[in-house]
Amino acid sequence: MKQDMVMPQMGESITEGTIIKWLKKVGDTVDKDEIVLEISTDKVDSEIPTPVAGKIVEVLAKENDTVEVGNVIARIETDAGTQPEEKQSEPPMEREEPQASKEETEPSVEEKKEDRPPEKKAETAQAERKPEEGAGVPAPPAKQESTKFYSPLVLGIARKEGIPSDELDNIDGSGISGRVTKQDVLNYLEQRQQSTPSTPAAATTATSDRAQVPAVSGEGVEIIPMDHIRKKIAEHMVLTVHTAAHVGLYIEVDMLNVFKIRERSKDSFNRKEGIKLTYMPFIAEAVVKTLKEFPLINASLDENNILIKHFINLGIAVDTEQGLIVPVIKNTDALNIVGIARAINDLAERARNRKLKPDDVSGGTFSISNFGVFGTKIGFPLINQPQVAILGVGSLEKRAVVVNDAIAIRPMMDISLTFDHRLIDGALGARFLQRLKAHLESYETDMQI
C-alpha cells in the first residue's frame, strides 16, 4: 500500500515550509523515523523523518518548493495490508484526476477546498468562474490550475495591502502547481510600487540590484544567491517596516550595582551552573518587571483590536552563521535570574548549532536585541512582528558622569526602545524606559545568585 507523507505541522503558527534538501530519492528504501529531508520554516531548519518504513515511490515536492502544512510531499510503498491513515487520504474519484492531468498536488488543493467553510467555497466558486467568462465552454480539467488556493498568510497580506481577489488571481505563483506564496505577494507589491515612479530618477533608483546585474560586465562582481534563512529575514524585515509606525527613544543607565554583582559572582556562578554569567539575565529580569507595570507594551495589534498578553515570552536575538535568530523564552515571568540565564544559554547554544524547533522561535511577546556585544553603543532595532516594541541593548563602557554634583567614573549603558506608534505614544515609551532604568539601577550589591 502507498502511504502519503505530508508537510508536517511544526508549530502553532506555521502554515507552510520550504524543502531545502531531499536526503533520499525515488527508489530508496527507508526505515520508520529515518530522516529523509530537511525543511525550513521562517528562521529554523528542521530534519523530517519518514512516518513509515518502505520504499519511496514518488516525490511530489522538489527542493526549494514551498508547501503548505498537510499537503502531500512524497509517497512511500509499504508492506502493510492496510493504509494506517486512510481517513486522511483522498476519495477515489479525486485520486483519478491527478493521474489523468499529471498534476502532483491537485489532490491537496481539492482537500483544502472541501475543508473550507461555505463562504470560502463560494469565494472559490466565484474565482473558478472568472477565468471561464467569455470562453463559451467550460474549461477543460487541464485549465483548473487557474483556480488557486491561498494560505491564510497570503490572504492576510492581500487584505492588509488592499489587493482585490481578481488582482491576486493574476499574480504568478512560484509554489507547486503555480501556487502563490507569501514571497510572491511581497515581490508583486514591490514591483507594483516600482512600476509607478514619480520621476525618471526615481525609476532608476527603484530598479533592484538583481535587475542591474546583467547590465554590468561581470568583472569584479560576485553573485551570491540568498539562502532560505536570509530570504526569510529580509521578508520579515520588509513586512515590519510596511506594518508598524516605528519610533525610537533611548536612555542612559548606570550599571554600577549590576556590574558589582556580576564581578563578585561570575566565577562561582560558572563553577555551579557551567555557564557564563552575563548582563543579559539582569536586563531580562528588569524588562519582565517593567512589562508587568506597562502591559500595553506586551501586546499586539489585530486590525482594530488590541491583544494584551497576560504572560511574558521574551525573545532574545542571537547572531548565528545562518543569520539573526530570535528564540523565545516561554513564561519568562515565572523564572528568576538563574533560570533566565540557563534559558538564554540553552537557546543560544541550540540556535548556533541549528537545533532549534519551530516553537522555539514563535509566540514571543517582547524582544531584546543585544548589539552591544559587538561594541555598538546605541541602535534602534526593527520591531519583531506582531509585537509592538523591542529593546536595544548597547555596550557597557566606563564613562565620566556627574553623580551628586561630582564627576565619577561609572559603567554606563545606553538602552533604546523601538515601539509601534500606532499603539504606543511617546510618553508611554519614555515612562517605560524610566522604570526600566530604575529597576536596573536598584539591584542590591549584596544580592546572592
- Dihedral of the CA atoms 94, 100, 105, 106 (nearest 10)? -50
Closest CA to 94 of 72, 118, 62: 72
Q: Is 4 part of the annotated catalytic residue set?
A: no
**Cα–Cα distance for residue pair 184/235, rounded to 1 Å:** 11
Contact by Cβ (8 Å): 329, 313:
yes
Cβ-based neighbour number of residue 37 at 10 Å: 22
Catalytic residue among 115, 421, 439, 446: 421
**Cα–Cα distance for residue pair 48/398, rounded to 1 Å:** 49
Cell of 440: 536596573
Q: Is 42 part of the annotated catalytic residue set?
A: no
**3-state SS, one letter per residue, for the chain:** CEEEEECCCCCCCCCEEEEEEECCCCCCEECCCCEEEEEEECCEEEEEECCCCEEEEEECCCCCCEEECCCEEEEEECCCCCCCCHHHCCCHHHHHHHHHHCCCCHHHHHHHHHHCCHHHHHHHHHHHHHHHCCCCCCCCHHHHHHCCCCCHHHHHHHHHHCCCHHHHHCCCCCCHHHCCCHHHHHHHHHHHHHCCCCCHHHHHHHCCHHHHHHHCCCCCCCCCCCCHHHHHHHHHHHHHHHHCCEEEEEEEEECHHHHHHHHHHHHHHHHHHCCCCCCHHHHHHHHHHHHHHCHHHHEEEECCEEEECCCCCEEECEEECCEEECCEECCHHHCCHHHHHHHHHHHHHHHHCCCCCHHHHCCCCEEEECHHHHCCCCCCCCCCCCECEEEEEEEEEEEEEEECCEEEEEEEEEEEEEEECCCCCHHHHHHHHHHHHHHHHCCCCCCCC
Cell of 133: 467568462
Catalytic residue among 302, 425, 439, 446: 425
User: Any idea which residues carry the catalytic annotation?
Assistant: 421, 425
